[in-house]
Amino acid sequence: MRNKMSFFERLKAAASTEWRAYTEHPFTSALADGSLREASFRHYLVQDYLFLIEFARAYALSIYKSPTLADMREALAGLSAILEVEMDLHIKLCAGWGLSPSDLEQAPAALETLAYTRYVLDTGMRGDLLALKVALAPCVIGYAEIATRLASHSHALAASNPYRVWIAEYAGATYQDVAAKARAQLEHLAARYITPAREAELTVIFREATRLEAEFWEMGWRA
């Protein structure tokens, strides 16, 4: 059965406790039913903007770490999507909550933001492209999975839900395609470089990155 599972599914299975804590965190459920406190969401929005800046740096690093031209082009496309699309959408979303670009840029990074982004960047610096992609996977692929689940909630996309725009953005075809491509490349890299010993090392990275993602939700939840 294990051999029939994809690499990403094996990572999730090995980190099932951390994955559930992340993808089923109360913060996400409160987004779906609209009960999340405004202060929590506003704090999350600010920190997610700062996170995206460091996320872009990680994608820039993935260009350097790419062993082939095709990998470099894929990394460049991901970097462009963050800088030219996702960050603009994030700024527009923040504006709807009364947060200006200067509010976002001048805000101090929370400890959870620093811990997560530094872990991803450090993993990329020390390891190869596959290690970096594994560290990025909980965010890129996980958000697509979370948003798909939230969108199925009866109230998620209702006009009365203040978080419907966020849910629609990540459940929409554009982001789902981004996540699908990221997963496909992860599987492609794993097919080229994975060994049993290597998979054990990468599972540790995936588990830690997933735990840090859950802590990021918790940061907003406590705000």
Band the pLDDT of 185: cuts 50, 70, 90: very high
Q: Looking at the annotation, which residues are catalytic?
A: 139, 213
For the 2-222 domain, the top CATH level (class) is mainly alpha
* pLDDT for 3: 61
How many whole angstroms separate alpha carbon 210 and alpha carbon 189?
20
Band the pLDDT of 207: cuts 50, 70, 90: very high
Exposed, middle or buried, 17 (CB in 10 Å: 0-12/13-18/19+)? exposed
Band the pLDDT of 223: cuts 50, 70, 90: confident
Q: How far is CA 90 from CA 66, 77, 95, 170, in A?
A: 28, 18, 9, 11
* pLDDT for 86: 87
The stretch 146-169 carries a mean pLDDT of 96
Q: What is the pLDDT of residues 28-73, one digit of tens each?
A: 999 999 999 999 999 999 999 999 999 999 999 999 999 999 999 9
The stretch 160-166 carries a mean pLDDT of 96
Tell me the percentage of the chain whose pLDDT exceeds 90: 93
How many whole angstroms separate alpha carbon 94 and alpha carbon 73?
30
Domain boundaries defined on the chain: 2-222
Band the pLDDT of 85: cuts 50, 70, 90: confident
